[in-house]
Chains A and B, each alone.
Chain A
Amino acid sequence: MKFKAEINVMPLKALLDPQGKAVTSSMKNLGLAEIENVRIGKHITLEIEATSKQEASSKVDDACKKLLANQIMESYDYTLTEA
């Protein structure tokens, strides 16, 4: 079976996100001062061949922990659907 994972990688809440901060301040220049706390992460999609959803999930976890996210500075979550 083929599965599709939609992964979100975000900077940890406790850490300053300079990109998000710069974008937040540019919102003011746009006349959208009501917008605050912009945080910027990554959205990653991938396809995976596995015999079960559980197997696919454990492989996506592995990929996230070993490469896609650095858990010292980022957190991740994902959704998995049959492709």
Chain B
Amino acid sequence: MKFGVVIFPGSNCDQDMIYVLKNILKQEVVELWHKDTDLQGVDFVVLPGGFSYGDYLRSGAIARFSPIMESVIAFAAKGGYVLGVCNGFQILCEAGLVPGALLHNNNQKFICKNVFIKSQDKNTLLTQTIPQEKALKIPIAHGEGRYFADADTLKKLNANGQILFRYCDENGAVNDTANPNGAIENIAGVCNEGKNVFGMMPHPERAADAELNNTDGLYLFKSIIAMVTA
């Protein structure tokens, strides 16, 4: 499977993502520069974490108008698979590729720690092989990660199975104390209606190397790759 990892000025999780896809999962990976428009025939585009364009104006707001994003938006419109992690999720929201927005954390802090999330739906490429009851330990690192969508949008997200992950405690219980940033309904990740564009705040690429003592993030990547190995 051929992955393309987009690099914006200010991206800082791009190399981690490339390392996991290439060295751990043995997939073909190309780097896609923000000024390019050619997606090089990739099967899957990843928007990595970081602080694209210095988070000027709003996180993700400027990146959304970079040349590569025009191609990514067209790719997604044709059903192409796109995953945005952290800043990548913020960019997807700004681009309108997934619904909602990411607000400042309710505790006014940048939060960098391991949290637990639980897959909410088996019917997406990103979550199809994840054990549904398992609380996955995945780190977050963000200042603006409080997911928000209005009541109508939330209703649709729930009805269409577009909520990918919710924050939970280590036993898998979804409750207020397990919610690190005040995200509405504990939402940590969502997808679009077509279920080909995925956004999430936690960083699976930071939990995918056995040498780091946590490989829960591999569940997500293996689910993606299952598409071609099945």
Residues of A bordering B, CB below 8 Å: 11, 15-19, 21-22, 67-68, 70, 72-73
- Interface footprint category on B: 10 to 19
The reply to whether B106 and A16 contact each other, CB–CB distance below 8 Å, is yes
**Is there contact, CB below 8 Å, between A18 and B101?**
no
Cβ contact within 8 Å between B107 and A18 = yes
Contact partners of B93 in chain A: CB under 8 A? 72
Partner of B58, one of A15, A19, A70: A70
Q: Please, could you name 28 A-B residue pairs with CB atoms under 8 Å apart, sorted by A?
A: A11-B103, A15-B103, A15-B148, A16-B106, A16-B182, A17-B104, A18-B104, A18-B105, A18-B106, A18-B107, A18-B108, A19-B104, A19-B108, A21-B108, A22-B108, A67-B57, A67-B61, A67-B65, A70-B61, A70-B94, A72-B93, A72-B100, A72-B101, A72-B148, A72-B150, A73-B101, A73-B103, A73-B148
Chain A residues within an 8 Å CB radius of B94: 70
Identify the B interface with A (CB < 8 A): 57-58, 61, 65, 93-94, 100-101, 103-108, 148-150, 182
Distance in Å from the Cβ of A23 to the closest Cβ of chain B? Answer: 10
Q: Given the complex, which residues of A lie within 8 Å of B149, measured CB to CB?
A: 72
Which residues from A are CB-within-8-Å of B107? 18
When C-beta atoms are compared, the residue in chain B nearest to A66 turns out to be B65
